[in-house]
Amino acid sequence: MGLFDIIGPVMIGPSSSHTAGAARLGRLVRKLAGQEIQEATLYLHGSFAATYRGHGTDKALIAGLLDLPPWDERLRGSFELAKKAGLRYRFVPTDLGEDAHPNTVRFDILCKDGSRHTVTGASVGGGQVEISEIDALRVRFTGERPIIVCRHHDHPGVIAAIAGLLYEARINIGNMQVDRSRETHLAQMYLEIDSFPPPGLEKEIKAIPGIQDAMILRPLEEEQVQ
């Protein structure tokens, strides 16, 4: 922890995990969508399900989906802003199972271009967040460093081909994890990288033989409070 983990962040109250983290989580979903969201169903789990009204977690999540930063005073009036922006939403308290973090939300969203996505994430404390699933792909995305997620056929050479592309782009891998399913013979890989990927890298990865799906997630750049 550094100085600004102790003094800060600047945020809208009352709770760093239930308000600031919720706003950041909503905003990460908005950034992943890369476009306006027209409809959202938010499944709230654990402590979020129990206390979301009292902590303004609902207002914070909607503010995030509208792309407001966690310190924006308009956060309190986010329901009105959603109405104006044409964002329809509903909250469903639910139980996502024992393994889910107590402050977890599953977002089912309909984007402006008609596409539908499901994103699951949690507010893990002190305003920090972690996305754990995007459209059935398991990830671990905190919004701090870029990550690459892909699903590929479980045979030799696929990972080497991706690593080769990263090497050519002079990108260092900070963290990686591979999981595979014996039934489907598909593997899922998650790479955290230390620098920004060049444009077109996602396309190049998708073109590697054996890759079924790939996605590059960029960090959430949060502007400083004015």
What is the contact surface with another protein in residues (CB under 8 A)? 1-16, 19-20, 47, 50-51, 53-56, 59, 71, 73, 75-76, 125-127, 224-225
d(CA 80, CA 59): 10
User: How are strands ordered across the β-sheet holding 88-94?
Assistant: 88-94, 37-45, 104-111, 116-125, 128-134, 137-141
Q: Is the peptide bond before 198 cis (omega within 30 degrees of 0)?
A: no
Residue 26 C-beta: closest distance to another protein, Å? 15
Nearer to another protein, 103 or 142 (CB): 103
Return the ∠ at Cα 137 (arms to 105 and 140), rounded to 5°. 65
Nearest-approach distance from CB 62 to another protein, in angstroms: 13
Which CB, 15 or 188, lies closer to another protein?
Answer: 15
Longest dimension (CA), the chain: 53
In whole angstroms, the minimum distance from the beta carbon of 131 to another protein comes to: 22
Between 74 and 112, name the residue whose CB sits nearer to another protein: 74
d(CA 50, CA 53): 8
* Nearer to another protein among residue 59 and residue 151 (C-beta): 59
Q: Which is nearer to another protein, 81 or 176 (CB)?
A: 81
* Residue 101 C-beta: closest distance to another protein, Å: 13
| Tokens 């591979």, residue located | 178
**Ramachandran class of 177: left when φ > 0, alpha when ψ lies in -120 to 50, beta otherwise:** beta
